[in-house]
Amino acid sequence: MYFSKSLIPILKNNPSEAKIKSHQLMLRTGMIKQSSAGIYSWLPLGFKVMKKIEQIVREEQDRIGAQEILMPTIQSSEIWKESGRYEDYGEEMLRIKDRQNRELLYGPTNEELITEIFRSSIKSYKSLPQLMYHIQWKFRDELRPRFGVMRCREFYMKDAYSFDLTDEDAQHSYNKFFLSYLKTFKRLDLSAIPMAADTGPIGGNLSHEFVIIADTGESKVYTDRRIFDVNNDEVALDKKSLMDLRKEYNKYYAVTDEKFNQNEFDINVTSENKLETKGIEVGHIFYFGDKYSKPMNASVDFNGSKEFVKMGSYGVGVSRLVGAIIEAKYDEKNEIMKWPLAISPFHCAILPQINKNDKTNLEKALNIHEHLKSKNIDTIIDDTDESISSKMKKFNLIGVPFQIIIGKKSEDDLVEFKEIGKDATKTKIEEIYKIIINKL
């Protein structure tokens, strides 16, 4: 792919309306473009990153046996009236009327719709548990949309739902998602801490937010520092039973603002382990029993009696994660974005110095590009006539992990090769292929 032919509208300076790093960088590198307040178009660079995140989220849902479906963005008000949330949800819900004057809404979440699907499809306890998820746009008419993709009105979310016969089975499903979230965030190279949280408009009395510590976060959190050691313990993730894993986390105080209690904090955490800070909520899981199944009459037959199913719901902010990863990984001092390799917009950038009358560098770049493409390495050639140093600056800002520089100093099969954030070294092209393939 040629940079000159791609839709990557880079801005010279940080846009003044953006207050936090991720918002600035996403606008500056042309990842997104605002369409109206809290609503964005995703341009190729941003869209690629989001799709890669989405795929990792999807794989980890599939791994625990959740079934992927796709529900619509537009829902009927009827089911929301059944659950009682049509009034409760208030002004955050975007309400629409069709030409027959029927009340519709743009879904802010999907508990009602999935319950409706469940009750009309599943009749026997023998079909439980049922775990379903979808990845779909949501709309919440936030009072103050801000910080770019962090608090939008339209945003992309993975939401999953579990249906079980008993409370105990439902807790097991909750724990499966708990573990699956830890694995998902680990693959994204993030340390997201599960914190006891308020359930808000979703309801229920058990809930965890998964929070990345960051100054620019909107959630205030209070925790025992030792919980970070649990999060970094790979063995715990792989070996512990689900219940043991939950217990491991439960040993340490970690709560969001609404659950905070100074007395409990003082009793449970020594002063050197206390951490009061801010974070970004990238996921949120809920257990709410029969809050929806009872009013909506979603039950199964169990040995002749009718049992309302026990439900939970599990969200990941897929579009928010793009911004959250920037907040966590951006190197402010050197203006370098360090995407984890698995989700970087390109694996490799080839930066040839373009001379008017001599096509040698460009041809060399093309040959390398063809070879990398044949190995499924996602590569872009910057064929513009900018100087090498400005090309390098640009690709540091975008955050492409490997860069091949074909400048004056390049001889036949020797070019400058650098990994982002490190110095360039003269390297044989064959050697470069090996290094990149090894790291992927």
Give the integer Cα–Cα distance in Å for 361 and 168: 65
Q: What three-state secondary structure class fits 381?
A: strand
Q: Number of C-alpha atoms within 13 angstroms, CB side, residue 378?
A: 14
Shortest spacing between CB 266 and ligand 5CA, in angstroms = 29
Torsion angle of alpha carbons 323, 184, 107, 205, nearest 10°? -110
Phi, psi (deg, nearest 5) at residue 407: -115, -155
Shortest spacing between CB 227 and ligand 5CA, in angstroms = 19
Torsion angle of alpha carbons 72, 73, 75, 81, nearest 10°? 120
Give the integer Cα–Cα distance in Å for 94 and 276: 35
Phi, psi (deg, nearest 5) at residue 410: -70, 130
- What b/e sequence results for 322-347 when a residue is b if at least 16 CB atoms lie within 10 Å of its CB, and e otherwise? bbbbbbbbbeeeeebbbbbeebbbbb
Q: Would you say 53 or 152 has its CB closer to ligand 5CA?
A: 152
Q: Are strands 402-406 and 414-419 parallel, antiparallel or unpaired?
A: antiparallel
Shortest spacing between CB 89 and ligand 5CA, in angstroms = 11
- Residue closest to ligand 5CA, measured at CB: 317
Q: Would you say 202 or 380 has its CB closer to ligand 5CA?
A: 202
Shortest spacing between CB 150 and ligand 5CA, in angstroms = 6
Shortest spacing between CB 196 and ligand 5CA, in angstroms = 14
The residue ranges that bind ligand 5CA (CB under 6 A) are 109, 111, 140, 142, 151-152, 155, 157, 159, 202, 281-284, 286, 313-315, 317, 320
Q: Would you say 160 or 354 has its CB closer to ligand 5CA?
A: 160
Q: Would you say 27 or 282 has its CB closer to ligand 5CA?
A: 282
Shortest spacing between CB 219 and ligand 5CA, in angstroms = 10
Q: Would you say 311 or 429 has its CB closer to ligand 5CA?
A: 311
Shortest spacing between CB 44 and ligand 5CA, in angstroms = 21
Q: Would you say 140 or 391 has its CB closer to ligand 5CA?
A: 140
CA 57 vs CA 183, 366, 369, 414: distances in Å: 9, 34, 29, 39
Can the peptide bond before residue 129 be classed as cis, meaning omega within 30 degrees of 0?
A: yes
Q: Would you say 125 or 288 has its CB closer to ligand 5CA?
A: 288
